[in-house]
A = this chain, B = another copy of it.
Amino acid sequence: MRVAIDAMGGDFAPDEIVKGAIQAAKDYSEINLEIVLVGEKDKIVRALEQHGGKDLNIAVHHASEVIEMNEHPGVAIRKKKDASVVVATRLVAERVCDVVISAGSTGAAVAAALFILGRIPGIERPAIATPIPNLIGTTTVLLDSGANVDSKPKHLVQGAIMGSIYAEYVLNIPNPRVGLLNIGEEETKGNEQVLATYPLLKQLHTINFVGNVEGRDIPTGTVNVVVCDGFVGNIVLKVGEGLASMIMQLVKESIKASGFFTKIASMLVIPALKGLMKKLDDAEYGGAPLLGVKGGFIICHGSSKAKAVKNAIRVAYEFTEQKVVEHIRENIEEEEDIIIERE
């Protein structure tokens, strides 16, 4: 597998991106992995030397520009033809690489994927599928977690089909349970968007739709795939991140404040807390695939460090190996009657 990595995208680029690539090259030696780091050659080569990656199987592909976080995605993609994310995506479009990874602007990543890779026939809106750890120790896939807002019912239906494939082939969940995120379990609950989506989901035959789910079902893991609009999904994700880090901080403060026994308590509890933090750490999950475009595209959190990048490379590998794009193409074709609006 050949993976193109946008070495200039993210809060800690290029150093942490390069370090993640080095770790992956070392740790995943059993797979036939070729890494191509895309971005400013001098900076990348220097980082490779500095972090001991000079003699590994890591190629560097020069790109002279970088898209900043505050740029308008569509405009930036068209204007900066030599931006790292654009060049990396082009490597996949031209079949030089199999999959691209970026921790840069999510908007720019989605725009690059749409314009350069293009959509799978039948998919109007690609969706970001974010894996979330849940209470029962498995993973819940939330999609769309921010690629689109004001989605139409058929877009949510397309998301459901794609999310189910991702859960089945990449997360190894047979016959994944798919739920529609709503404010009640009854079919008659919700806003116009979900009320119109529910009957369409019921008609699908390639997914295991179990009905509406509520916010609490995401952390409890009642279902494997949670479908929602990108506006809702993005807010849910950020509430979760904020709350998880708030609670961890409160636990630590409580332990500190417990006075006399502080040191003993810390010694005993810190290993337990570390285990917990590992469970909740999104770096463990690497990246979230953008589903629905003609090629692999893994989007990483802007704050990704080496570990997240390394794990994203593993996700990229699974995504490619399991032929997710082909499965989406097949199932979307099979469900054509339901997802294509006749007006």
Contact = CB atoms under 8 A, between A and B. Distances in A.
Contacts of A250: 135, 276, 279-280
Contacts of A272: 251, 254-255, 257-258, 265
A239 B265 contact: no
Interface stretch (A16-24, A108-116, A214-222): A214-222
Contacts of A255: 269, 272
Interface in A200-252: 214-220, 228-232, 234-244, 246-251
A234 B215 contact: yes
B242 A219 contact: yes
Contacts of A149: 183, 190-192
Interface of A is mostly: helix
Interface in A251-276: 251, 254-255, 257-258, 261, 264-265, 268-269, 271-273, 275-276
Interface string A27-66: 0000000000000000000000000000000000000000
Contacts of A257: 272
A146 interface: yes
B191 A219 contact: no
A244 B245 CA distance: 11
Given A150-B192, A231-B232, A240 B243 contact: yes
Interface of A: 70, 134-135, 146, 149-150, 181, 183, 186, 190-192, 214-220, 228-232, 234-244, 246-251, 254-255, 257-258, 261, 264-265, 268-269, 271-273, 275-276, 279-280
Given A149-B190, A183-B231, 15 more contacts: A135-B246, A150-B191, A150-B192, A183-B238, A215-B235, A215-B237, A216-B238, A219-B243, A232-B232, A235-B236, A251-B273, A255-B269, A264-B264, A265-B268, A265-B269
